[in-house]
Amino acid sequence: MKNWVVSMILLFGLWLLLSADLAVPILIAGFIVVFLIVLLFSVRNPVFRDIKLGPKALAYIIIYPVVFLKALVMANFDVARRVLSPSLPIRPAIVEVRTILHSPIGRLMLANSITLTPGTLTVEIQGDSLFIHWIDASATDINGATESIVRGFEKYLEVIYG
């Protein structure tokens, strides 16, 4: 049920952005299309089944994009600095980190966020382990790497997706 409602809200938001029109016939058409899509796809793919909708989770859903955008901008200046400096200051490594997230959508968000932020790129996920290519590895052991790469996002994603 929760999966249906969240899917429909998201798809209807997408419809509103695409149509950019609030006329009643268009809204009704959008609702029918969204309903059919959710009916066809949500039964077998409960993507949002694990999402939490308590007040704290809702607040974090709003805060998370801000945290993420800040990390994205910092990532860009960081990579720009490395690319431009003549000595090319990189210390690359593939490190292993562990995640405490269980839901597939939570892990997807975590892996995507890691890929888009400072010098880290998710290479592989196996079980609870994420293998991450790190452009400037300050710690190659599993605990140190987990602490510096994953914690910042996991704090929010844990509340939202569990």
Partner 1 sequence: MQIAHIIGGIVSIVGSLFLLLGALGIVRMPDAYNRIQAGTKATTLGTLLFLAGIGIAEPGWLPKLAVLILFILFTNPVSSHVLARAAHHIGIALTSRTVADKLREHEEAARD
Note whether 76 binds partner 1 by CB under 8 A.
yes
Note whether 146 binds partner 1 by CB under 8 A.
no
d(Cα 64, Cα 51) in Å, to the nearest integer?
14
Note whether 143 binds partner 1 by CB under 8 A.
no
Note whether 47 binds partner 1 by CB under 8 A.
no
d(Cα 87, Cα 38) in Å, to the nearest integer?
52
Question: Contacting partner 1 (CB under 8 A), which of 26, 51, 57, 90?
Answer: 90
Note whether 66 binds partner 1 by CB under 8 A.
no
Question: Contacting partner 1 (CB under 8 A), which of 92, 102, 128, 143?
Answer: 92
Q: List, as one string, the DSSP characters of 9-57.
A: HHHHHHHHHHH----HHHHHHHHHHHHHHHHHHTTT--TTTT---SHHH
Note whether 51 binds partner 1 by CB under 8 A.
no
| The pair of three-digit structure tokens given for residue 108, joined into one six-digit string | 């997807």
Minimum CB separation of residue 137 from partner 1 in Å reads 6
